[in-house]
Amino acid sequence: MASSEEDGTVEEKENNNKKRTKSTLATAWLTFYNIAMTAGWLVLAMAMTRFYIQKGTHKGLYRSIARTLKFFQTFALVEVGHCAIGIVRTSVIVTGVQVCSRIFMVWFITNSIRQIQSEESVILFLVVWTMTEIIRYSYYTFKLLNHLPYFIKWARYNLFIVLYPVGVIGELLTIYAALPFVRRSGMYSMRLPNKYNVSFDYYYCLIIVMLSYIPLFPQLYFHMLRQRRRMLHGEVIVEKDD
C-alpha cells in the first residue's frame, strides 16, 4: 500500500512539474510575441508619422509601409493557433474572424487595388489599427509581466469606444471605393463558361462582406462594452448559453 501511494505521489509531482514547465514556456512565448508585435506596430506608427512630416501628404503613405504592415498583420494568424492549442482562453472562431478580416482588408483589397491606396479611408483605418494594436499588445505584455499600469488598462477599455466604430467606417469606405475598380477589371472573378463550371463574382462578394458588418459589428462592440464594465468597474457579467 505504501509503495503504491508513493508511486502515485511521484506521478502526481511529475505531472505537476510538466504542467508548470508548459505554463512557463507558454508565458515566455506569449510575452515575447506580444513584445514583438508591440514593437512592430510602433515601427509602423513612427514610419507613418515620419512620412507625413516629410511629405506633408498622405498620398504614397500606404505604399511606404505596405511591406511592414503585411508582415505584422499576417503574422497575427499565430493568435488563432494560440486559441486552438489552449494557451490563450479566447474563442478560436472570434479570433479567426477578426484576424482574417484584417488580412482580407490588407491583401485582397488595399494591396490588390493600387487606385485606392491613397484614399483617406485607408489612412483612417490604418491609424485606428495602429493605435488599437499598440494599446492591445502593450496591455497583454504588461499583464503577462504582472506589472500592468492603470493608464494602459484604461486605454484598452475606453479608447475602443471611439476607435472601433471609426475603424469600421474606414474599412467600409475603403471597400466601397474599391467596388468600381473591381467591377471594371473583373479581378478575382470567374465567368461562365469555364472548365470548372463555377461562377464567382468578387464584386458581389465585397458587397456581401460589407453587409456582414451589420450583424457582426454590434456583437463584437457590445462584447467589448461588457468586458469594459467587468474590467474597469468589477461588474460580474453572466453570459447566457446559446
Q: Is 171 a catalytic residue?
A: yes
d(CA 15, CA 234): 35
Q: Which member of 33, 133, 171, 202 is catalytic? A: 171
What torsion, rounded to 10 degrees, do the Cα atoms 82, 87, 90, 95 define?
0
Distance linking the first and last C-alpha atoms of the chain: 48
Angle at 176 between CA 171 and CA 181, to 5 degrees: 120
For 159, the 3-state DSSP assignment is coil
Q: Which member of 164, 176, 213, 221 is catalytic? A: 164
Q: Is 14 a catalytic residue?
A: no
Q: Are 110 and 117 in contact (CB under 8 A)?
A: yes
What torsion, rounded to 10 degrees, do the Cα atoms 28, 31, 35, 41 define?
130
Active-site amino acid positions: 164, 171
